[in-house]
Amino acid sequence: MSRFSDLQKNLFILAGVLAVIAALPLFITQRYFLGEIVLFMIWASVAVQWNVLLGHAGVFSLGQMLFFAIGAYTVGMMGVFFDISPWLSMPVGAVVAAVASFAIGLACLRLDTAYVALLTFAIVFMVSSLISTDAECFITEGGLCTPLFGGGNGFSGFGDLGFRKLLKGKWILGNYFVVLGVLALSLMASIVVIHGRLGLAFRSLGDSRVYAAARGMNRTRFHIIAFVITAFFTGLTGAVYAAHFRFAGPSLFEFSNLVFILGMIVVGGLKSTWGPIFGAALMMVLVELAKSWGDIQNSLIGIVLIVFVLLLPKGVAGASTKLFGFLKPKRKPSA
Amino acid sequence: MDAILQIVITGLTLGSMYALGSVGLALTYGTMGMFNMAHGVFMTIGAYASYTAATVWGLPLPVAIAFGILAGGIVGALMHLLVVRFMLSRDDFQTTIMVATAGVAILFQDLILKQFGAYPFKQPVQIEGMFRIGNTVIAYQSIAIMAMAAVLIGAMAWLLTKTRFGLAIRATAMNQNAAKLMGVKTELTYLQVILIAGTLAAAAGILISSLASLSPGMGTNPLIRAFVICVVAGLGSVTGAGLTAIALGVMEAGIGYYFGARYGFPVMLGLVILVLIFRPAGLFGKQGVIRA
């Protein structure tokens, strides 16, 4: 046994990982690659949060992109309609996502696993189709009609984080570190949840739902707590996505995005702490390669997903635990 | 009066397509606890297969329809043999199979997009013309859709209730281990179930595309309706799914008529969530849901 708890150990690893990512711009200066790393950090944050929900809390939510989109849309709408800086609207977006998740959680999470998956999926679909079929103009500027929720085009071109003025040509570095900050918050939250008391509750509910209930643990309550926490950070990530790309639109809801992030979690390893980060990096590389092979990324994502579920159900993290037992001595042999 | 008749006709047309799309999903869940995210892609495959047979190869319509239906079944069977078969004994089958079938779904959706492009083709498999009852216009296509759905669902009901083959499926659904001990080859039963689900989904896809048009993503919309139908009926209840589908179809047509087509699905989903608050296992569900 070491002197440090799981929680402290993982926070140390977190500091290391963040330091490495923070040092990357010293070696990588092309804007394209920096942009790719920003995208990686955004998806990694979403994947990490989803993994907390899916792998640890056991809530099979397919609605994560909705909370991401809520964060993004909040930034977009406040930027376009009221000219509010993303610095202010980003936290608002996270809170709105958390509130929405609370309402959805109350309605859905009482139900069984499969019901939760299907209902969250249906709710996302409903919201996205309502948004993209909306044609009623909310404001009209220079002959350009913008519906309340952006319609099929969404919002774009609203105010950014202000680094374009401040850093001129190197503006992307400013965004880079803002996104890194969000990733840091999101990772820290996930570690505290997984290795803290909440994680303990999830583990006991996963080991024996009946026994945990007999000891007075309210499964629905813990699920809703997990749902709201992860929605908050997913919403924050969506908000920073909108602030970076200056875009929020219905394309966020596409099925391929959902499967892409699911792929990151599965490839990295469901139920692990650090798997989704590696999974996100691997999937980003894979998609880059697929682009150069000719636009086959969705087929490739599908194949990777099937292969990993079939052959490596615990993902890279599980495989590496098997190979190098000393790397992650804390993991139990079987869940 | 005319409006009500029109709503009923539209609703029954919708409902019979939904029923065709959701009974297969309910059957796979009921028998093997598998929620098939690729079910919508089976619909797309059926639609494109019959389009290819009719337009590209110039085959007569009945052959094209049969080919489309068969294609759905074959893809379903292949998915079972290559993927599902190996996962059946896992502890977390219920969740991992959703991930795996989501992978299958995105793979096929992308392959269809690459093969046919995003252009919305017109489904050649349809009947033109309409007739009137009073002031209500009824398309022959609607009648054809209802007839085809009734025939296929009837055939499935007959298979399930009147044959030894159906008895094996129902036995497996009731208790997998007991069925095994009585000599039912459950492995084979699972394959048959997915085959049936695939053919029904493909048929639904052909019918749906005859009203709208063909597109690689056309399976998503009916898939989500099938999800909602199965959830509100109670997962795994096949009869329940059929009845709920028709009821929701009529309801959606009514809401669409009075409030606009945009709100048909949202209102339906809202009602479904309301139902689930009072009956967490669905209207026809047997299993109790653990509430703690």
Whichever domain contains B83, its CATH number is 1.10.3470
Q: Which residue has the higher pLDDT, A289 or A45?
A: A45
A108 near B CB under 8 A: yes
Name the residue with higher pLDDT: B133 or A195: A195
Q: Which residues of B fall within a CB distance of 8 Å from A118? A: 35, 227-228, 230-231
More confident residue, A242 or B126: A242
Cβ proximity of B54 and B119 under 8 Å: no
Domain limit, last residue, from A194, A219, A253: A253
Give A262's contacts in chain B (Cβ within 8 Å): 99, 102
Tokens of A247: 């875009």
Indicate the residue type of B234: G
Choose from A66, A111, A211 for mutation: most chain B CBs within 10 A: A111
Whole-model pTM: value is 0.87
Instruction: Tell me how many degrees the CA angle B288-A51-A100 measures, rounded to the nearest 5.
Output: 70
Q: Which domain holds residue B89?
A: 2-278
Give the Cα separation of A95 and A233 in Å (integer): 9
Query: Among all residues of chain A, which has the CA nearest to that of B112?
Result: A299
Instruction: Answer yes or no: is B20 within a domain.
Output: yes
**A267 and A147 belong to one structural domain:** no
Pairing of strands A144-147, A137-141: antiparallel
**DSSP string spanning B134-155?**
TTEEEEHHHHHHHHHHHHHHHH
Residue A331 has pLDDT above 60, yes or no: no
Supply the mean pLDDT for chain B.
Answer: 86
Closest by CA to B282, choosing from B238, B223, B221, is: B238
- Where does a domain end: A253, A279, A313? A253
Q: Is residue A31 less than 8 Å (CB to CB) from chain B? A: no
pLDDT confidence tier of residue B191, bands split at 50, 70 and 90: very high
pLDDT digits (tens, 9 = 90+) for B102-150: 999 999 999 999 888 888 888 777 777 778 777 777 888 888 889 989 9
Residue of B nearest to A334 (CA): B91
Decide if B109 and A306 are in contact by the 8 Å CB cutoff. no
DSSP 8-class letter at A333: S
Query: Among residues A213, A235, A253, which one ends one of the domains?
Result: A253
Provide the pLDDT confidence category of residue B187 given band limits of 50, 70 and 90.
confident
Residue B289 within a domain: no
Cβ of B277 within 8 Å of Cβ of A107? The answer is yes
A103 touching chain B per CB within 8 A: no
Q: Is A5 helix (H, G, I), strand (E, B) or coil?
A: coil
- A325 plus A243 within the same structural domain: no
pLDDT tens digit sequence for B161-183: 888 888 988 888 888 888 889 88
Residue A73's Cβ-side half-sphere holds a number of Cα atoms within 13 Å equal to 25
Pair A167, A310 in one domain: no
Q: Which residues 228-267 on chain B approach chain A with CB closer than 8 angstroms?
A: 228, 230-231, 235, 262, 265-266
Tell me how many degrees the CA angle B154-B158-B163 measures, rounded to the nearest 5: 165
The two three-digit tokens of residue A85, written as one number: 């800086």
Q: Based on the domain organization, do A267 and A225 belong to the same domain?
A: no
Give me the pLDDT at residue B220, please. 85
Specify the range with the lowest mean pLDDT, choosing from A162-171, A183-192, B2-11: A162-171
Do residues A245 and A273 share a domain? Answer: no
Largest Cα–Cα separation, chain A: 68
Say if A152 falls within a structural domain. Answer: yes
Per-residue pLDDT tens digits for A103-143: 999 888 888 777 888 888 888 888 888 888 877 777 777 66
Tokens standing for B93? Answer: 């089958």
pLDDT tops 50 at residue A335: no
Task: Say if B287 falls within a structural domain.
Answer: no
Indicate the number of domains in chain B. Answer: 1
Nearest partner of A182 among A258, A94, A245, judged by Cα: A94
A260 and A149, same structural domain? no
Q: Residue A102 has what pLDDT? A: 94
Using one digit for the tens of pLDDT, what is the confidence trace for B261-291? 778 778 878 888 888 777 777 777 665 444 3
> Would A209 be classed as within a structural domain?
yes
**The two three-digit tokens of residue A119, written as one number:** 């209902």
Interface contact flag, B231 A115, Cβ < 8 Å: yes
| Interface list for A 278-317 with B (CB within 8 A) | 296, 298-299, 301-306, 309-310, 313
Residue B285 lies in a domain: no
A93 and A40 in a single domain? The answer is yes
A207, A303: one domain: no
| pLDDT-based confidence at residue A212 (cuts at 50, 70, 90) | confident
The domain in which residue A74 lies consists of: 6-253
Cβ–Cβ of B231/A303 closer than 8 Å? no
Give the pLDDT of residue A241: 93
Task: Identify whether B244 is part of a domain.
Answer: yes
Q: Is residue A97 part of a domain?
A: yes
Domain contains B53: yes
Which residues 262-281 of A have a C-beta within 8 angstroms of B? 262-263, 266
pLDDT value at position A288?
85
Partners of B290 on chain A (C-beta within 8 Å) are 112, 209-210, 213, 219
Is the confidence at residue A293, as pLDDT, over 70? yes
Closest residue in B to A307 (Cα–Cα): B100
- Looking at the fold, whether A261 and A195 belong to one and the same domain comes out as no
Give residue B288's pLDDT: 46
Counted domains in chain A: 2
Same domain assignment for residues A273 and A247: no
- Please report the number of interchain residue pairs, chain A to chain B, with beta-carbon separation below 8 angstroms: 137
Q: How close B131 gets to chain A, by Cα (Å)?
A: 32
pLDDT in tens, A1-26: 456 788 888 888 888 888 888 888 88
pLDDT of amino acid A220: 86
**Predicted local distance difference test score (pLDDT) of residue A100:** 94
**Nearest Cα to Cα of residue A214 among B292, B291, B280, B288:** B292
Residue A326: pLDDT band with limits 50, 70, 90: low
pLDDT tens digits, B226-237: 888 888 888 778
Determine, yes or no, domain membership for A1.
no
Tell me, what's the ipTM?
0.83
